[in-house]
Structure 1
Amino acid sequence: MKKAMIFGAGVSGKGSEKTLKKMGYKVFLIDDKTGISSEDGLKILETDSINIFIKSPGVPYTELVKKALELGIEVIDDIELGYRYKMINNIKGKIIAITGTNGKTTVTSKIQEMLGKAGYKAKVCGNIGYSFSETVMENPTLDYYVLEASSYQLENIKEFKADICLVINLTPDHLSRYRDLDHYYDTKFNIGNKQKEREYFLVNTSCAESLKRVKKISGNIIFLGSTETDRKELVFAKEGKIYFKDESVLDIELASLKGKHNLENMLFIVCVGKILDIPTEVIREFLYSTKTLEHRMENFFSYGKVEFINDSKGTNIDSTKFAVEAFEKPILICGGYDKRLDLTPLEKLIKDRVKEVYLIGDIADSLEAGLLKMGYPKDKIFNLKTLDRVLEQIKLKINQNEREIVLFSPATSSFDQFKNFEERGKIFKELVISYFN
C-alpha cells in the first residue's frame, strides 16, 4: 500500500487526508496539537517508506519538512494533490485560479456567484476555506472550480494548471515568510507556471510588479486595467464606465461594490465573464445587485450618527490604505501580528488621513513610536493592545450625536491574538454591539 504523510490538520490537511484515502493511501496525519506529533513524524519518515508528503500552507518549513526533502520524498500541497486527482480521474470541470495581495476573496466569491447566475455549476475552494482536493473529489461534475490561492499554497505546486489565472495585484506582504518582496511576488506568479497558449492569464496593467513579470507567463495574456494604456487592455475603466473592448458593460456608480479597490475587482470579474461568453446583461445585473462580503468594509452597526465599519480582512497596509481613503478623517483601529514590514507608509497614512488611532497587537508599540517620530499628536494615539480595551475607551469618548466613522482595518494579520481574520472580525462586531447597543 502507498503511504502519505500530511503535516497540518487544518482545512487543507483534512481535505488531503480524505482525498488520499480515496486514492488508496495509508495516511499519517501530523499535527502537534491534534494528530501525530512532529517528533513521531520524524521517526515514521525514517522507518516507513513514505511516497508523498503534503505540507499544509500555514505550516513553516520545520525540521520535519526539511527531513522529507532530504530523504527525496516529494513535497506538495493540497492544490497540487487536487489537480492530480482531477487528471487521474479525467474530471472535466475547468479551474479558475485567483491570487494577489488584496481582493482575491471578493473576486473568487463573486466569480462563483456570477457563474451561478449564468446557469453554471461552480464552487469556491482553496484559501477561501475549502480544500481544493476534497472539493474536486466530492464534486466531480462541476462546470468550474473557482480556486483562491495564497502565496503559501503556491510554493509547492508542480503540475498544477488553471484554465484561467488571475493575479489581481502585488503589494508588500508576508516578509516574515519570504526572503524579500521579489521572492513573494514570484511565488504568486507560480500560479501560471504550466499554462499553454490555449489557457488565459489575466494581467492588471495598473500593477507595476505584475507587468515586470509578464515574461514569466506561458499562457494567453489578457491585459486589463483601471485606464487604457498602450498594452491595449481588453477590459478597462473610462469616464465612469467599465468597457470590454468598445462595449460599455456597466456604470461604475451603479455597481454595488464601492471604492477604488472594488473597481479593480470588478475589472477582473467582468473580464472572466466575457472570456466565458456570459451575456453582458447578466454580468451587469449581477454587479449592480451583488452584496459586499462580511469583514470587508462592512458597515454593520450605527450608534446614533456614529458608523462602525468592520474591515478585519484588511490584513496588509495597502488594503487598509484603500479603506481609510474611502472616508473623511475616520477613527482607525489597527494593529496585530508583526510581519516585519516597513510601517512607514501606514504611519504616514495615519498622520495624513486619520482623526485618532487606537492600536492593538504585536505592532502597537512600534506603530506608536513611529507615529510620534513622524509628528502625529500624542493625544490622538491610544495604545491599548486589545479590542476590548479599545472599545471601552471609545465608548467613554464618543458622542453619538456627532457624525463619525469608526474603522477597524488592522493592516496586518491576526495570528498574535486571533485564529484568523474571520474570528477577529466576529469578536470586533460582538464587542461593538455589547458596548454600544
Structure 2
Amino acid sequence: MKKALVFGAGISGLGAKGLLEKNGYEVMLVDDKKAMSSKDGMNTLSEVELFVKSPGVPYTELVKKAFDLKIPVIDEVELAYRYMKKKANYPKIIAVTGTNGKTTTTTKIKELIEYCGYRCEFAGNIGRSFADLVTEDKELDYIVLELSSYQLENVKEFRPDIAMVINLAPDHLDRYEKAGDYYDAKFNIGAKQEAGDYFITNMNCQESSKRLGRINADVIRVSLEGGKGCDLYPEDGWVVYKGKKIICEEKLSLKGRHNLENILFIGAVAEIIGLDEEKLREFLYNTGTLEHRMERFLEVGGTLFINDSKGTNIESSKMAIEAYHGCILICGGVDKKLDLTPLVGAIKDHVSNVYLIGELAEKLEQALIQGGYPKDRLVRSGNLENSVDLISKKIDTHENNYILLSPATASFDQFKNFEVRGKVFKELVKKYFTAGEEV
C-alpha cells in the first residue's frame, strides 16, 4: 500500500488525510499535540512517498529532512487540486488571495454565483479544506478558494481558471524573513496559469504590479483610481467595465473604500464568467456584511459597538480605525514582528482611547508613547473582558461613542482564532451593556 505522511492535524491536515485514505493511501498523521510525534514521524520517512505539510506548520527538522530525502513536499491545496482534476467534469476554480479583503471577496463571489443559479462552494482558508470538499465529490460548477500565503508555498501544478491578488501589505513577518518573500508566496497563485486563464490584478498595488511579469494568464486590471489600461474602475458614481457602466456606487449595500475595492474584483469575476449584469446589481445592492469584519452589532444609547476581529494585520485595522474617527479602540494579540509605525499613525489621528490586550500590548504601548500618543489615554487591560468591563465603567452611553475591536494582529495568544475572539467580544459587550439594541 502507498504511504503518505500528513504533518498537522488541523482542518487542512485532516482534510488531506481523508482524501488520501479515500484514494488508497496509508496515512501517518504527525502532530506533536494530537497524533504521532515529530520524532516518530522522522523514523517513518524512509517509507513515505508523499509528504503533505499543513499551512500552519513551520519548516521544522521533519520538513527539512523530507526535502533532503527528495520526498515530494506539497500543500493540501495542491493535493486536492490533483485529485479534483481526475474527475471527468471538474468544476472551474476561482482562487482568491491578498493581504486584506479575501474573506469578503471569496464569500460574495460564491454567494453571487449561487444567486445566478450555478452550483458553487467555497473552501480553503475559510470554513473547510479544499481536500475535504474534493473528498465529498459533489457536482459543482465552481469552487471559490480563499488562499493564504502559507497555503501557496508548496503548490506545484495548481492552476486556477481565475486567480486574483486583491492587495499586498506587510504581514506574517514572524514567518517570512522579509515582506518580499510573503508577496512572492502570494503570487504563486498564478504561477502555473496560461493564456486563456484569467489573472485579476490591482493596479493601485505597487508590489503586485512589480510581479505581473511572472503571470502568463490574460490579465484583467482593476483600480480604485482609474487610469490608462484599467478594465474595471469607479467613475462618476458608477463602477465601469471597459467603458460600460455596470454598478451604481450609491446603491451598494457594502459601504467603504475597502469594500469598493473588493467589489471591483467581484465585478471582474462576474464579467469574465458572463454572469447576468442585472443579477449582479440586484445582488450587490442587497447583500449583507460579514460577521467579524467591521460588524456593527449593538447600539446602546449613542454608543455603537463594532466587531472587527477579522482585522488581523495593520493595514486592515488602519481601514477600520479611519472609518470610525474618534473611536475607543481595543487592540492587540500575537506579535507578528511587523513595523507598527503605520498603526501608530492611524491611532494618533483617529483614536480617543486605546485598550491594549495580548502579547503585543507592551510593545504597542511603547511604540505609541514614543510616537507621541498621550500616555493617559492608554490602558494595558490585558484581555477582552477587562477591556469591556473598564470601558463600561468609564463611558456615558448616552453620548456618541464608537467602541471598536480591531486587533491588528492574530488571536492565537488568547483565542483559537479570530472568529472565537469576535464571538467572545460580542458576548462580553452584551453582558456588560445590557440595555443595547442589536443593529
Letter in structure 1 aligned against 2:111: E
TM-score by length of 2: 0.97
Deviations 1:363-407 (A, max 9, x none): 111111111112211111111111111111101101011010001
Matched residue, 1:77: 75
Matched residue, 1:5: 5
Deviations 1:9-57 (A, max 9, x none): 11111111111011110011111122111121111224xx101011000
Query: Conserved in 2, the CA contact under 8 Å of 1:330 and 1:355?
Result: yes
Query: Conserved in 2, the CA contact under 8 Å of 1:79 and 1:132?
Result: yes
Deviations 1:73-92 (A, max 9, x none): 11101100011101233342
Range that drifts further, 248-257 or 350-359 = 248-257
**Within 5 A, what are the aligned runs for 1:402-413?**
402-413=399-410
Letter in structure 2 aligned against 1:272: V
Query: Conserved in 2, the CA contact under 8 Å of 1:93 and 1:140?
Result: no
Matched residue, 2:437: none
Aligned-partner Cα distance in 2 for 1:358–1:433 = 18
Count of aligned positions: 434
2:219 to 207, 221, 225: 221
Matched residue, 2:379: 382
Aligned-partner Cα distance in 2 for 1:357–1:248 = 43
Range that drifts further, 245-254 or 126-135 = 245-254
SS in structure 1 opposite 2:117?
coil
1:432 aligns with 2:434: no
Aligned-partner Cα distance in 1 for 2:182–2:95 = 17
Matched residue, 1:256: 253
Percent of residue pairs identical: 54
Deviation at 1:140, TM superposition (A): 4.2
SS in structure 1 opposite 2:85?
helix
SS in structure 1 opposite 2:112?
helix
Deviations 1:71-110 (A, max 9, x none): 1111101100011101233342100000000000100000
Deviations 1:294-353 (A, max 9, x none): 000101111221110000000011101111111221111111100001111111111111
**Within 5 A, what are the aligned runs for 1:322-341?**
322-341=319-338
Aligned-partner Cα distance in 2 for 1:286–1:88 = 34
SS in structure 2 opposite 1:33?
coil
1:211 to 209, 232, 243: 209
Matched residue, 2:43: 43
Deviation at 1:137, TM superposition (A): 2.7
Letter in structure 2 aligned against 1:53: F
- Segments of structure 2 that go 5 or more residues without pairing to the other structure are 435-439
Deviation at 1:173, TM superposition (A): 0.3
Matched residue, 1:182: 180
Runs of 4+ in 1 over 6 A off after TM superposition: none
Aligned-partner Cα distance in 1 for 2:258–2:380 = 29
Matched residue, 1:56: 54
Aligned-partner Cα distance in 1 for 2:401–2:210 = 41
Query: Conserved in 1, the CA contact under 8 Å of 2:15 and 2:129?
Result: yes
TM-score by length of 1: 0.98
1:299 to 290, 296, 299: 296
Matched residue, 2:128: 130
Deviations 1:101-125 (A, max 9, x none): 0000100000000000111000000
Aligned-partner Cα distance in 1 for 2:249–2:330 = 29
Matched residue, 1:238: 235
Deviation at 1:234, TM superposition (A): 1.3
Query: Conserved in 2, the CA contact under 8 Å of 1:91 and 1:140?
Result: no
Letter in structure 1 aligned against 2:82: R
Letter in structure 2 aligned against 1:347: V
Letter in structure 1 aligned against 2:421: R
Letter in structure 2 aligned against 1:36: M
1:349 to 340, 346, 356: 346
Aligned-partner Cα distance in 2 for 1:360–1:139 = 43
Letter in structure 2 aligned against 1:328: H
- Segments of structure 1 that go 5 or more residues without pairing to the other structure are none
SS in structure 2 opposite 1:355?
strand
**Within 5 A, what are the aligned runs for 1:250-289?**
250-289=247-286
Query: Conserved in 1, the CA contact under 8 Å of 2:97 and 2:186?
Result: yes
Q: What root-mean-square deviation, in Å, do the aligned CA atoms of Structure 1 and Structure 2 show?
A: 1.0
